[in-house]
Amino acid sequence: MTTIPLVPVRAREGVCIPLQDGTPATFIAFDGFERHTEHFAIRFEGRKPQAVPLVRLHSECITGDLFGSQRCDCGAQLRQAQELLKEEGGWLLYLRQEGRGIGLFSKLEAYRLQDQGLDTYAANRALQLPEDAREYAPAAAMLKALGCTRIRLLSNNPDKANQLEQAGIEVVERLSTGTFMTEHNEGYLRTKVELSGHSFENL
């Protein structure tokens, strides 16, 4: 198996922040990342913590996470992950990789091309950008800094599990997220299944 090298990072002291429903969550920043990639972790204690923690790697999506965009399923996946983590405990790693790593402005340009008929991957290629520029080695480095090397991964994306394994994190189980289909994102979801091997129920 190919080994992915990691940039060593160090977890800072966590800060407890009560969430909207009052659930306490501990936000943890890291030393070692470049300033413009301020990845962070959120620890949930959980009502029924598991021996092997549940972990969600979530790439930043301003349009979906903050504004509820229906062109993707990111916001819905983030909310589901939080509900599961409140129950089981574990980690949410929030990765600053907007638009599959191409950034917000380029993502908006890709949306414009999608409105003209291109799928999500073809739109990125038309902009001479990678289909998916996300890297999960930073997440592996964060998990190691947190002393968490065996996890249950909440993800439909096989590439996340593969990259984590190559970086020395044992993924003992991969759990699928829900299928959050709307009239605006059905093509987006089907493209993920057909071109990158994502797993969704009923698709």
Question: Which residues have a catalytic role annotated?
Answer: 132, 134
CA-based nearest residue to 55, from 183, 144, 122: 144
**134/59 Cα distance (integer angstroms):** 8
In sequence order, the 6+-apart residues with CB closer than 8 A to the CB of 146 are 11, 28, 41, 91
Contact 81, 59 (CB under 8 A): no
Cβ burial, residue 160 (10 Å; 0-12/13-18/19+): buried
Measure the CA–CA gap between 23 and 84, rounded to whole angstroms.
Answer: 12
